[in-house]
Amino acid sequence: MITPDPHAANATISARRDLNDTVAIVHIRPDTGSVAPFVPGQFIQLGLPAGPDARRIAADGSVRTKLVKRSYSIAGAPHEREAYELCLAFVEQGQLTPKLRELTVGDRLWHDPIPKGIFTMERVPYGRDLVFVATGTGIAPFVSMLRAYGGNPLRFRHFVVVHGARKRSDLAYHEELTAAARADRRVSYIPILSREPAGSGWIGLRGRVQTALQPACFLSRTGFALNPSSASVFLCGNPAMIDEMRTELASSGFTTDTPKHPGNVHFERYW
Ligand SMILES: Cc1cc2nc3c(=O)[nH]c(=O)nc-3n(C[C@H](O)[C@H](O)[C@H](O)COP(=O)(O)OP(=O)(O)OC[C@H]3O[C@@H](n4cnc5c(N)ncnc54)[C@H](O)[C@@H]3O)c2cc1C
Ligand SMILES: NC(=O)c1ccc[n+]([C@@H]2O[C@H](COP(=O)([O-])OP(=O)(O)OC[C@H]3O[C@@H](n4cnc5c(N)ncnc54)[C@H](OP(=O)(O)O)[C@@H]3O)[C@@H](O)[C@H]2O)c1
């Protein structure tokens, strides 16, 4: 019997909003008509044919397409059922993202129908100070978490988002996060830019996320001090940032969360 191609396109781009040349917010609608259940912080995989010879035909006539697959954190909340919302950076020399960049609304692609990942708040007790540190598109899982849990008065005591990016236009979800911080005094949003031109009108912090985490800066922006007994920290994005932040946090008494040993530092490396 001929088996169907497990890598045939099974989803459609249903929306796309480019923030600049390298960052876009994209909606992926599964052919099933709704997204699968997922926990905020999880990711899906996207795939496109690896090249002109990607379609392999076996002796029995069945087709199996070779894909380039990559993982993407879901920015949408689980109640947003129609499509997965993702925040994508287009990497110039990358294998997949230059192909994704060419796709427009209505174009087809493959997605893994089962979201995966353990970078979630499931193991974090209620009532803590939650501190989310992102670089670039690493903001995506935190947007999902805020959309899902932001309205719950018991889930956290504080919800702090520190977002490091190169330029103002790379700050995906800037308006949404600014509005969330205005609406709820438990929420703080601290964007910080590393390469925004001088004189551009940017009045926020400049530098890397580590600057925002310095005790005096953190206290002045959030109104509380970062303390391992009451805080859980989530790190997402550039792996060098994650390594540096983990070292810094360890020196202040924070410990990494692992499946066997609960801790208060959680991280997701994007590469
Ligand atoms: C669990 C998980 C979740 C992820 N979620 C996202 C997401 O929500 N959005 C997203 O844009 N990427 C995300 N990534 C990264 C993504 O999977 C790909 O690595 C990225 O899209 C590059 O793929 P590529 O084939 O074009 O580049 P590749 O050929 O794989 O080249 C990879 C190189 O691109 C650079 N790079 C990779 N990802 C990024 C990035 N996000 N920003 C800047 N530079 C990068 C690094 O220098 C890396 O060495 C995630 C990765 C993991 C493991
Ligand atoms: N955004 C752009 O303007 C632009 C332009 C051309 C190409 N691209 C390409 O687009 C892709 C996405 O780039 P991106 O800017 O989203 O991701 P990125 O390179 O990870 O940078 C995001 C932010 O993380 C910071 N960072 C890097 N290393 C760090 C560390 N060790 N600790 C703390 N912070 C650190 C960067 O600061 P620094 O600036 O100090 O490194 C920047 O503020 C890349 O492949 C890039 O080559 C982007």
List, for residues 57-84, the tens digit of each pLDDT value.
988 888 899 999 999 999 999 999 999 9
Pocket test for ligand 2, best of 91, 97, 166, 169 (most atoms within 8 A of CB): 166
Report the nearest-CA residue for atom 6 of ligand 2.
22
Mean pLDDT, residues 154-165 = 98
CA of 186 to the centre of ligand 1 (A): 31
- Collapse the DSSP code of 164 into the 3-class scheme (helix H, G, I; strand E, B; otherwise coil) and give the result: strand
> Is the pTM here over 0.85, yes or no?
yes
Cα separation of the two ends of the chain: 40
Give the tens place of pLDDT for each residue, 8-59: 999 999 999 999 999 999 999 999 999 999 999 999 999 999 988 999 998 8
Query: For position 59, what pLDDT does the model report?
Result: 85
Mean pLDDT, residues 79-108 = 98
Q: How far is the C-alpha of 139 from the C-alpha of 75, rounded, in Å?
A: 8
Q: What residue spans in the chain does CATH classification 3.40.50.80 cover? A: 128-269
Q: Binning pLDDT at 50, 70 and 90, where does residue 133 land? A: very high
Whether 25 lines ligand 1, by a CB cut-off of 6 Å, is no
Residues 6+ apart with CB under 8 A from 267: 119, 234, 235, 236, 242, 246, 256
Q: Binning pLDDT at 50, 70 and 90, where does residue 235 land? A: very high
Q: What residue spans in the chain does CATH classification 2.40.30.10 cover? A: 11-111
Report the nearest-CA residue for atom 37 of ligand 2.
194
Q: Percent of the chain scored above 90 by pLDDT? A: 93
Query: For position 61, what pLDDT does the model report?
Result: 85
For domain 128-269, is the CATH number 3.40.50.80?
yes
**What is the assigned CATH class of domain 11-111?**
mainly beta
Whether 42 lines ligand 1, by a CB cut-off of 6 Å, is no
CA of 209 to the centre of ligand 1 (A): 19
Report the nearest-CA residue for atom 47 of ligand 2.
91
**Ligand closest in space to the Cα of 248:** 2
Asked if pLDDT for residue 217 goes beyond 90, the answer is yes
* Token digits of residue 179: 């509005």
Burial of residue 71 (CB within 10 Å: 0-12, 13-18, 19+) is middle
DSSP H or E run through 126: none
